[in-house]
């Protein structure tokens, strides 16, 4: 079998067009959805991600503020900045790019963001809402992965979904979202003993470990939908996922490429959450 390739770029365009209609409706009422993105330090990958987030907002006609703080910025200064944005009525979404430098407590920073403006969905209140199954601001990467499955018509209810990776940004929220759609969910980590035993039983396999090409074709159930959240740079400079695409595509039914799979969706769902937050603020 050769898998159908899930075209994240094309699906992202389609979903962005849907949200543009909602953003335009708000603009017609004199409200421009606004996003503030804060980056602390000089991490090259984070700089690229943040620039892409700001660019996507501009493309949809959203207001965006790109706040660049030096790596030695104190926690107090960052918290003050967040407090200012919390109180600013033209800002509906606030995102602090992670990781932040070690001298800053990221939990404290995430808790300082007004939950109504928490477009990353990382505030404990929004995490709690996700557990209960009623969050309005789901974390962008798993939200985007769920949209890909939905747009491809992959059935979730009753299926076995295996999530490899237990991060707060992807693995844990992804598992909760799949559970909410009535999947039977197993969460593994890169340290799971006999990982292949679990992955080979997955109808839906989501991989977010940060370990290049760790899932190979022989670890995949024939026909499975494989969502690769990894993005790793190889010694030759090329990007690859956590799934070995060449062997996996011979076995899977659906597969996301890297790049061009989940990545464009993460940014799209950030735009969606910003519009959603602006809609709520306008009520
Ligand atoms: N770093 C890696 N992924 C993310 C994300 O989705 N949001 C934020 N704020 N930082 C990240």
Q: Is the CB of 169 under 6 A from ligand 1?
A: yes
Query: Which parts of the chain sit beneath pLDDT 50?
Result: none
**Residue 86 burial (10 A CB sphere; 0-12, 13-18, 19+):** middle
Question: What is the model's pLDDT at position 190?
Answer: 85
In order of their start, the domains of the chain are: 30-114 (3.40.50.10860), 139-263 (3.40.50.720)
Give the single-character DSSP code of 99: P
Nearest to 77 by CA among 42, 101, 59: 101
Q: Is the CB of 118 under 6 A from ligand 1?
A: no
Q: How many CB atoms lie within 10 A of CB 203?
A: 19
- Using a CB cutoff of 8 Å and minimum separation of 24, what contacts does 180-188 make? 180/133, 181/146, 181/156, 181/157, 182/156, 182/157, 182/158, 183/156, 183/157, 183/158, 183/159, 184/158, 184/159, 184/160, 185/161, 186/160, 186/161, 186/162, 187/162, 187/163, 188/162, 188/163, 188/164
Question: What is the model's pLDDT at position 203?
Answer: 99
Q: Please give the C-alpha separations between residue 91 and each of 75, 118, 119, 192, 194, in angstroms, as whole numbers.
A: 21, 11, 11, 42, 47
| 174-191 tens-digit pLDDT | 999 999 999 999 999 989
99 CA: nearest ligand 1 atom? 1
CA distance 167 to 130: 15
Scored b (16 or more CB within 10 A) or e, 95-134 reads bbbbebbeebebeebbbbbbbbbbbbbbbeebbebbeeee
Question: What is the model's pLDDT at position 69?
Answer: 98
Question: What is the model's pLDDT at position 235?
Answer: 94
Q: Is the CB of 258 under 6 A from ligand 1?
A: no
| C-beta of residue 126 within 8 angstroms of C-beta of residue 94 | no
Ligand 1 mean position, distance from CA 99 (Å): 8
140 CA: nearest ligand 1 atom? 6
Question: What is the model's pLDDT at position 192?
Answer: 97
Cis status, amide bond into 246, omega within 30 of 0: no
Residue with tokens 């080979």: 200
Question: What is the model's pLDDT at position 10?
Answer: 98
Q: Is the CB of 97 under 6 A from ligand 1?
A: yes
Question: What is the model's pLDDT at position 184?
Answer: 98
- What's this model's pTM, rounded to 2 decimal places? 0.97
The catalytic site residues sit at 53, 97, 120
């Amino acid at each position: 079998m050769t898998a159908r390739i899930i075209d994240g770029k094309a699906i992202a365009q389609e979903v962005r067009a849907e949200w543009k209609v909602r953003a335009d409706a708000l603009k017609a009422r004199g409200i421009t959805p606004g996003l503030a993105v804060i980056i602390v330090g000089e991490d090259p990958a984070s700089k690229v991600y943040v620039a892409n987030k700001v660019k996507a907002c501009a493309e949809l006609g959203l207001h965006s503020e790109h706040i660049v703080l030096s790596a030695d910025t104190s926690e107090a200064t960052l918290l003050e900045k967040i407090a200012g944005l919390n109180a600013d009525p033209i800002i509906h979404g606030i995102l602090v790019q992670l990781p932040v430098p070690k001298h800053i407590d990221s939990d404290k920073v995430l808790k300082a963001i007004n939950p109504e403006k928490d477009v990353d969905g990382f505030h404990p209140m929004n995490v709690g809402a996700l557990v209960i199954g009623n969050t309005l601001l789901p974390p962008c990467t798993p939200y985007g992965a769920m949209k890909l499955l939905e747009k491809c018509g992959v059935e979730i209810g009753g299926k076995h979904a295996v999530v490899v990776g237990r991060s707060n940004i992807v693995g844990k929220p992804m598992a909760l979202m799949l559970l909410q759609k009535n999947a039977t969910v197993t969460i593994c980590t890169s340290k799971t003993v006999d990982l292949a035993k679990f992955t080979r039983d997955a109808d839906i396999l989501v991989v977010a470990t940060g370990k290049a090409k760790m899932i190979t074709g022989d670890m995949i159930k024939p026909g499975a939908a494989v969502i690769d959240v990894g993005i790793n740079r190889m010694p030759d400079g090329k990007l690859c996922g956590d799934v070995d695409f060449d062997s996996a595509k011979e076995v899977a039914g659906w597969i996301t490429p890297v790049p061009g799979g989940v990545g464009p969706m993460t940014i799209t769902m950030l735009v969606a959450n910003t519009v959603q937050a602006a809609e709520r603020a306008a009520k």
